Every structure is written in structure tokens, then in C-alpha cells.
Structure 1
Amino acid sequence: MLLKLKSFIVPLSFIILSGAGFVFIKMGLTYSSSMAFLELRYLLAFVVLLLVAFIFKAKFSKNLNEIFHISIAGILSVGLFSIGCFNSIDYGLSPALCSLIISLQPIVVSFFAMKFLGEEVSKRAWFGLILGLIGVGLVLGLDGEINKNELIGFLFAILGLFSMSFGNLYQKKYCSNMNLITGGVIQTFASAIIVLPLLYFEDIRVDFSGEFIIALSYMSVIASIGVMSLLYYMIRHGEVSKVSSLFYLLPVASAIVAYFVLDKSLELNVFIGIIIVLIAMNLINKKEQFQAIVNKG
């Protein structure tokens, strides 16, 4: 019973907390330049994780090869992913549209998981992936209009999409047994390092208002530590392609959180999209009964 409850609560928590992150990025960028916000986020997350590691006496790996792999996985799924998302929204792409692009991850991950990790993706799962994309599109009710800045934002979102996709695959292949605390310290530090030189190219501004503190706290503690720990936990205990399918629900969570935080209205297409996405999720994660019988035999 406890195991079934955990298998429900962990993915649900990941969906809600991760989807809300796009909304808090938008909130924080009102008061700060994108890379300054991101650098502060990683530095705060690094300090918090280092403190937690000290309190619980977590041991860091002394294997340089292992540290290297953890750093690369972090740079991809934490650093470059966030650089893409923060700049995407900063250039005018809405949190919903950014999360839609990121939600294409199941298709990217499923394809490369077959090639590099040897995972099999059934026809039922492929149908679910495509159906999920349709549902996501209905949730967002996208317009066809896009200006120059939004085009740049779109390209940054694509960077975020591929960075997170390859980061998850890399994490599964090389860092599946990573300690979440000490690994988090290494990954947030590595991410802070790659963001640092990007500060040179922007007009740095930070207004430490109440809303910015809330957004920074959320992105540093909840997103950088909580969400990534949930993601790595799920990657460790499940197939990458099925874990990745949860990203289809990010725009759903973003739309709902934006309704409460940014006063964005919910329309009929949202509820229709949610139903389609849930059906798609069931198709992606449902195990073949015949295969289960064969395995038991």
C-alpha cells in the first residue's frame, strides 16, 4: 500500500512543482535580468545543499571519473536546461509556450532511449506520446503569431528541451546511483560555473522585492533541490521514456498554477486537453498484460 502511494505521490509532486517553476521564472524575471536570477538561484541552492550535506555528514565521491559524469549530467539537465528556459521566457515566450516545447521531451527521449539505452517503446506508447502532444496543444490554445524576440525565445526553449532530454539519458546511463545530496552540490556548482561568464553579456539588474525573494526561493530550493531530486529518484526507479512522459503534464500544471498566481483564466480547451493528456499518460505507462503474463510464466 505504501509503495503504491509513493508511486502516485512522487510523480504528482514532480508535475505540480516543476510546472509551477515556469510561472515563478516569469515572476522573478520581472525584477531581475535572466542570468543574474539564474546565478543567484544556483548559488543559493549550492549553499543550502552544502549545508544539508554537512548536517547529514554525506560523503562526496573521491572518484574523479564519477564526479565528471555527475557534473556533465548536471550541466545538461540543470544548467543548460535552465539557461534555455530563463532566456526563452525573458525574450517574451510565455511560461505556457515554453513548457509546451519542453513537454516535447518524451518524443526526444523515447527515440534516443531506444538507440542508446536499449529501451523498447511499444506502438501503444508511441500513440500515447503523439496523443499527449495534441492534448498539450489544446491546453495552451496556441496562436500562429510569433515575433523576432519570440523566435529567439523559441530557440532557447529548444536548447532547454534537448539539454534536459540528453541530461536525463546521461543521468540514467552514468549516474543512476548518484547520492542526491552530494550529487546536487556538484551539479549546482557546475551549473553556477557555466552561467557565470554569461553575466558579462547582459545588463545586470536585481530588485530584491518581496515577489523576487519568493520566486528566487522557489527556484533555488523547491525547483533546484526538490524537483531535481524527485526527477532523479524516478529515473533511478523507472524507464527513462516513461519518466519522461510526465513532462506532457507540465503545461497542464503551468496553466493551473498561472491561474492562481498570475490570474490567468482557464478555458474549455484546458479541460479537454487535460483529459487527452491523462489518456495519453495511461497509454504510455500501461504495461502490456500479455507481457506481464509471459514474465510471470
Structure 2
Amino acid sequence: MNSNTSSRTSTSDINRFALPFFFVLLYGSGFVGAKLGLPHSSPLSFLTLRFFAAGILLFFIAYWFGEQRPSWRDTVHIAIAGTLTVCLFSIGVFVSIDMGLTPALSALIIALQPILVALFAQTLINEKMNSSQWLGLFCGFLGVAVVVSQSIETGPFSWVAIGMSVLALLGVTFGSLYQKRFCQNMALFSGGAIQSLTSAFICLLLLPFFDVFDVVLTSEFIIALVYMTVGVSLGALSLLYLMIRRGEVSKVASVFYLTPVSAAVSAYLLFGDTIEETTLLGASIIALGIFLTNRKS
């Protein structure tokens, strides 16, 4: 009995650390994928192709594993969650960067997500936070500010670009809460297919009004599209939904603080960007914040 209990505990601990690690690795490097692909495509063109490809891929994976089709009621909930978490977030980030907002400033705005999630989780899904966990969330935000401090450029900026990053922030915040509240038992692949295809349809509808279909089929674009489709839409988002299903959404949100660190490391490996000392200092502060947020009371 003790041996079985110990084995289950060990497996649980591995999953508790492995899922966030791989999520941060895949999700953070997605910013690098955007940097690689956007010079060869307009934002909505890239997102339409990415979401359509991801939706088709997830549909066939769901069919292969024999996942049941969700009810119409569940399908609507899944589509709404995907519109917020996947579509609005991606549009906001991609368009704001395309409009000239630095990725560092965009990352700092998005870093407010764990704090907003914790605030609204108290009233919307009755998740409570203690003082140590709140301290952890603010430590995490401070850490992100330190990480991106060297990359934030001063000078004129577009309030519309700022607004698009805020839209991304609100999308991923309320999308995570909606996912936790209404899509707790969503099948990963069929649900992911619904969310991706819904997002593709929305981007396609917006394309004639806010963008033009503009794609140059270079090797960099194809690599970026494949990675964002498989690595982020299939890999990272599936891990995110698993973590939301298994844990408190406010604690899950805290791992978002590490995505700028993952992006910095990915940029160093792929583009030779410099890792500043402030990145290491900020990562240490973020690690402390995540520890405080997730430790058992």
C-alpha cells in the first residue's frame, strides 16, 4: 500500500513539474516563431493558415484516437473559450508587434495575466488566494519587468498597438477562466480542433476589413508556420488545457511569467541574441514568485 501510494505521488510530482516545463518551452518559443514568420506574411494571413492547418491536424488526431464528438452545447462553450484564449490573444499579439510595438513591451503587458486571472477567479470560479500567493504573483510580474527592461525602447508608440496587446491580455485572461468553468472535461484533440477552426474562420472574416492576404512562401515562413501549428497550437495549448483541468487556474497562470525567459533563450539559440544579466536576475525572481504561488498552504 505504501509503495503504491509513493509511486502515485512520485508520478504526480513529475507531471506537476513536467507539464509546466514543456508548456513554457513551447509557448515561449512561439514568440520566436512569430518573429521568423511575420516578415514574410501579414498577421491575419499567417494566423488564418496556422489555425486552419492546426484544426485539420487536430481533427485527424481526434479521429485516430476515437475521441467522441462533443454535444452542441459543449461545442459552443469550447468555441467561445477558443475565441478568447486562442484567437483574440494571437490577433492581439501579432497585430501589435506588426504595428511596431516591441515584443518586450507586449510581453510586459501580457505578464499582467496571472494577476488578472487571480483577481477574477475569486468571484467567477471561487478560487481563493492567500497572502503568500499574492506576493508570488507580484514577484513574478517584477521578474518579467526585469527580464524585458533592457529591450523596452522609449520613444513614440501607437496607442492602437498598446490596445491590441491589452486585447490579447483580456482574451487569454477570460479565456482561461471560461475554459476552467465550462470546458473542464473537454477532449483535448477534438476540442482543440473546434477552437482552431473557429479561430481560422474569425481571422478569415476579419481579413478583408483589416488586412490583405499576403504570403511569401520562403523557407523561414514554412518553418515558422509548421512550428506554430505543431509546437504551439497542438503542443503548448494541449498542455495548457491539461494544466487548467488538473489545477487551480490562478496557479496555472503563474507559469506564463516564464514565457519571456523561454523566448529569450530561444532567440539566443536560433538568432544569436544576447542573454543579458538582467534576464538571469529576472528569471530568478520569477522562479521565486512561481514557488510562492504554487507551494502548498
State TM-score, norm by structure 1.
0.93
Query: Following TM superposition, by how much is the alpha carbon of 1:144 offset from its aligned partner in structure 2, in angstroms?
Result: 6.1
- Aligned equivalent of 1:249: 258
Helix, strand or coil at the partner of 2:100: coil
Q: Given the alignment, which residue of 219, 227, 238 partners 2:236?
A: 227
| Aligned-partner Cα distance in 2 for 1:103–1:148 | 19
- Aligned equivalent of 1:88: 96
Q: Given the alignment, which residue of 94, 98, 121 partners 2:106?
A: 98
Helix, strand or coil at the partner of 1:148: coil
Query: Following TM superposition, by how much is the alpha carbon of 1:189 offset from its aligned partner in structure 2, in angstroms?
Result: 1.1
Q: Give the letter aligned to residue 132 of structure 2.
A: R
Q: Deviations over 1:200-255 (max 9, x none)?
A: 12132111111111100111111111111000000000000000011111111111
Does residue 41 of the first structure (1) align with residue 50 of the second (2)? yes
Q: Given the alignment, which residue of 9, 19, 26 partners 1:17?
A: 26
Mapped contact 1:96–1:255 kept (Cα < 8 A): no
Q: Give the letter aligned to residue 26 of structure 2.
A: L
Q: Give the letter aligned to residue 171 of structure 1.
A: Q
Q: Deviations over 1:28-71 (max 9, x none)?
A: 1011000000000011001111111222222212x221111111
| Aligned-partner Cα distance in 2 for 1:9–1:131 | 22
Does residue 154 of the first structure (1) align with residue 162 of the second (2)? yes
- Aligned equivalent of 1:119: 127
Q: Given the alignment, which residue of 149, 173, 185 partners 2:181?
A: 173
Mapped contact 2:102–2:153 kept (Cα < 8 A): no
Query: Following TM superposition, by how much is the alpha carbon of 1:93 offset from its aligned partner in structure 2, in angstroms?
Result: 2.3
Query: Following TM superposition, by how much is the alpha carbon of 1:266 offset from its aligned partner in structure 2, in angstroms?
Result: 1.0
Does residue 164 of the first structure (1) align with residue 172 of the second (2)? yes
Once the two structures are aligned, what percentage of the paired residues are identical? 43
| Aligned-partner Cα distance in 2 for 1:114–1:144 | 35
| Aligned-partner Cα distance in 2 for 1:146–1:131 | 27
| Aligned-partner Cα distance in 1 for 2:17–2:136 | 19
Select between 38-47 and 202-211 the one with higher mean Cα deviation.
202-211
Mapped contact 2:101–2:157 kept (Cα < 8 A): no
Does residue 141 of the first structure (1) align with residue 149 of the second (2)? yes
Q: Give the letter aligned to residue 217 of structure 1.
A: V
- Aligned equivalent of 2:5: none
Q: Give the letter aligned to residue 134 of structure 2.
A: W
Q: Give the letter aligned to residue 257 of structure 1.
A: S
**Residues 11, 106 of structure 1: CA spacing in aligned structure 2 closer, same or farther, 3 A cutoff?**
same
| Aligned-partner Cα distance in 2 for 1:44–1:144 | 35
Q: CA RMSD in A?
A: 1.3
Select between 195-204 and 238-247 the one with higher mean Cα deviation.
195-204
Query: Following TM superposition, by how much is the alpha carbon of 1:146 offset from its aligned partner in structure 2, in angstroms?
Result: 4.1
Which contiguous aligned blocks of 4+ residues in structure 1 show a shift greater than 4 angstroms? none
| Aligned-partner Cα distance in 1 for 2:190–2:156 | 42
Mapped contact 1:103–1:249 kept (Cα < 8 A): no
State TM-score, norm by structure 2.
0.93
| Aligned-partner Cα distance in 2 for 1:229–1:169 | 16
Query: Which consecutive unaligned segments of at least 5 residues does structure 2 have?
Result: 1-9
The equivalences for 1:34-73 within 5 A come to 34-61=43-70, 63-73=71-81
Mapped contact 1:99–1:254 kept (Cα < 8 A): no
| Aligned-partner Cα distance in 2 for 1:218–1:8 | 23
Select between 247-256 and 33-42 the one with higher mean Cα deviation.
247-256
Q: Deviations over 1:122-147 (max 9, x none)?
A: 11111111111111111111546242
- Aligned equivalent of 2:207: 199
